[in-house]
Amino acid sequence: MNTDNNKKQRIAVALGDFDGMHRAHQTVTTGAQKVIIFCVNNKFSLLQKSIFEKRFPNAVFASFDDIKNLSGEEFIDDILIGRFHAGIVLCGFNFKFGKNASWSAMDMRKYLEAKDVWVRILEHLDYKDLPISSTRIRECVKNGEIKDANKMLGYNFTFENEVIGGDKRGRTIGFPTINQHLPDGLIVPKYGVYESRTFVDGKEYKSFTNIGIRPTWRVDKPLCETHIFDFSGDLYGKTVRVELIDYKREEKIFKNVEELKEQLDYDKSSIV
């Protein structure tokens, strides 16, 4: 049997927390066919689980309680080899595992190469001269720096949720909106108005989205109100996906409906 060919057929396992599956994470999951993505710490603060599962159907989500007390040897022998039959393991340079995060990527390479398992360790990927990380992206989202967040993610910051009933005030001034709550656990973007893209039944529409508490007509829980350009129809009860493109302005208190409409006309005209 050709040993080199046999190694190519081995199962590849990519390890990481993969919160958001940003560009640096994506480099970990490339370079091997049929990669199993093993998410060891499932936060989903940057990309909700429902979207993650659609984009990465080969992902396996760890139960952190089941693995947190495993030694480094147990994690490798029981999970990587015993469960996944890994022949190739891919991870980032800063990957830690084992009880109290006591093992490093280099420790894993030394242990697995003695078992004839190849370990590929990826170095950091930079954006604006600093390493891309989930922590850095979360800060950008919270600060309204959505363009930078999207550059580091490698896609637009996205959420999907059911469309809920609203007060229908927007339609009286020519700006009907769909109302959604942000998914539980997802990082809350800076309050304000965003250029967005909305996807309805697979079709993409230009839109703008207000995220916040609506200081003029206050709500108790952050609400996402999206006005979809050139669309008419009832979306109540449907799950709709929204992507944030650019931060346009902060939330404002309006003196009256006319002032609000004037601002919304300007917001719409600024999106090309």
d(CA 192, CA 176): 18
Residue 166 has pLDDT above 80, yes or no: no
Q: Identify the three-state secondary structure at position 95.
A: coil
> Which helix (DSSP H) or strand (DSSP E) does residue 35 occupy?
strand 35-39
Per-residue pLDDT of 225-255, as tens digits, reads 999 999 988 899 999 999 999 999 998 888 8
Measured distance CA(212)–CA(219) in Å, rounded: 8
Quick one: tokens of 257? 């409906």
- Residues near 41 by beta carbon (within 8 Å), at least 6 away in sequence: 17, 19, 62, 64
Does the pTM surpass 0.85? The reply is yes
Residue that the structure tokens 């999907």 belong to: 160
* pLDDT 10s digits, 173-188: 778 899 999 999 999 9
The DSSP output letter for 256 is S
What's the token pair of residue 124? 């950091």
The average confidence (pLDDT) of the chain is 90
Residue 229 contacts residue 204 (beta carbons within 8 Å): no
pLDDT of 195 reads 97
Please give the average per-residue pLDDT across 47-67, as a whole number: 93
Range with lowest mean pLDDT among 66-80, 101-115, 191-205, 212-226: 212-226
Please give the full DSSP string across 135-151, using - where no structure is assigned. Answer: HHHHHHHHTT-HHHHHH
Q: What is the pLDDT of residues 7-34, one digit of tens each?
A: 445 789 999 999 999 999 999 988 677 8
Which residue segments constitute the domains of the chain, with CATH numbers given?
3-127 (3.40.50.620), 156-269 (2.40.30.30)
pLDDT at 168 over 70: no
Nearest-angstrom CA–CA distance, 149 and 139: 9
* Distance separating alpha carbons of residues 256 and 247, to the nearest angstrom: 24
Residue with the two structure tokens 């229908």: 168
The pLDDT of residue 218 is: 58
